[in-house]
Structure 1
């Protein structure tokens, strides 16, 4: 399946993940997302527990959204397939993963083959708002740290409810912004994060709830996981200092891949400041498609 991916934002997101795929995989393994820790826990030396923490975030979203075993799942923004492989393996789900990055889709399919779940986990280069799947194709729509890249979030929620069976589940984990007014310095911090991470804007967790309700979802709930995930930007966890400490490495990467790749390295201190000040938040959302039309 080949999408018609035409918007400037989609093209920028595709390029960003194409040129950083190996960096994320080398540093963070198969999960291109935050980790999850209990209060008071800190990352181990040299990021030793980063894989356990990112694995845990997947399990936390599974538990929070009550994803059932054996479900048919659409994984929106599947990355290189880490969460989907968990869903297909441990839970026996059938997963269709979509991403704007052809390189991510290719790598995810390779990993599914190696894990022995290729018959239950398939990955495609598709726009999440135009996948072409029929109505009521999935029991679960799963979006783990992908909604931030979608400018028209109302359209995402509308598409999710179209694709879900009656009684189906929406499971979202997302970067977000503090609800309420931000001052000029706070907005500048947000702006820098958006630019470097190729995101159009942030919504607050209450705004996500409102969008889900407006699309027709019921039993909408959110939980703030900011404190649980903030350690993800600890230098030991993120491992970015392995590259960032060398000006020559940074310069060579920029020459080879273009200056866009440097956004990968700027993210750490910006996100740390965002979490420390409470400007950047992080949360999960669960919602249900009504079993009967209102």
Structure 2
């Protein structure tokens, strides 16, 4: 799917993302991803500290070296990219289907004096406009749940990685089979947030089907879902302003917050950090 020829469905998703971005940045301390709490509770730190801790955890898994070229697949507003560029001294190119997010990433890079290290382009992760083997590593921070074909997206990331290049991604998962009532809730939740979360047991196969080698898979849900209570509080406080400023109905804002909190409380819910790499040699059949 070309970034400049998007379907009405994609246009709707983009609009919804951009409506939520401003308040999400405030609630999540400048990031669009959840926080990491080492003790498995809300702790005494700020949300900014918690979300930055998750960025740093992923940076450790990525193991990027100074001067390397990194792909950020679904860069959002660019905050994790900027932190990675600053702390690891790497060059980073972010892609996102949202032109608003591309502009924000570009603006934030300029404001922080990192325009020579961090750039952004509008592109679809399922059809990346880059040559084969053009990046040293890649990450996708909470972007794959919104991608219609995750295997295709990971296959594209594999294609643009150099042999041996590492990819790190995060994704909420269903860590075990769910009952019929829980499935009914999850179906409604996924429709509400324009995302789906796979079974944890399916993730290794998804990685292999994309032509990647699985290095490590860790479920850190216990350290993540305490964030949801603060997220709900923040969305509840901002609901009226969102409705007046960006046209996001208060009813939908409150539903997203309520559902996110419930998802985080389910024993079936997990949050996977996945580390994989492009094989150094490729002798089997390419992914379809």
TM over 0.5: yes
Which ranges of structure 2 fall in alignment gaps of 5 or more residues?
Answer: 284-288
1:281 partnered with 2:276 = no
Q: Say whether the 8 Å CA contact 1:13–1:100 is kept in structure 2.
A: no
SS in 2 for 1:239: helix
User: How many matched pairs?
Assistant: 282
Preserved CA contact (<8 Å) 1:3 1:127? yes
8 Å CA contact 2:62, 2:139 repeated in 1: no
Superposed CA offset, 1:49-84 (max 9, x none): 100000000111111333334321110111100110
The answer to whether the Cα contact below 8 Å between 1:77 and 1:143 also exists between their aligned partners in 2 is yes
1:132 aligns with 2:129: yes
Could you tell me how far 1:264 is from its partner in structure 2? 3.9
RMSD: 2.1
Partner of 2:286: none
Q: Which residue in the other structure is 1:67 paired with?
A: 64
2:36 corresponding residue in structure 1: 36
- The answer as to whether partners of 1:235 and 1:241 remain within 8 angstroms in 2 is no
Q: Deviations over 1:230-277 (max 9, x none)?
A: 111113785223224xxx546535xx5254x75443233222222222
Change (3 A) 1:82 1:216: same
Pick 1 or 2: higher relative contact order, CA cutoff 8 A, min separation 6: 1
Q: Residues 209, 238 of structure 1: CA spacing in aligned structure 2 closer, same or farther, 3 A cutoff?
A: farther
Aligned residue in 1 for 2:282: 293
Structure 1 residues not aligned, in runs of 5+: none
Residues 112 and 148 of structure 1, relative CA distance in 2, 3 Å threshold? same
Structure 2: distance between partners of 1:54 and 1:237 = 16
CA contact (8 A) 2:37 2:224 kept: yes
Q: Which residues of 2 match residues 55-134 of structure 1 at below 5 A?
A: 55-134=52-131
Aligned match for 2:261, one of 249, 265, 272: 272
| TM-score normalised by structure 1 residue count | 0.88
4+ residue runs of structure 1 moved beyond 6 angstroms? Answer: none
What SS does the aligned partner of 2:238 have? helix
Change (3 A) 1:269 1:43: farther
Shift of 1:116: 0.8
Contact 1:28 1:238 in 2 (8 A): no
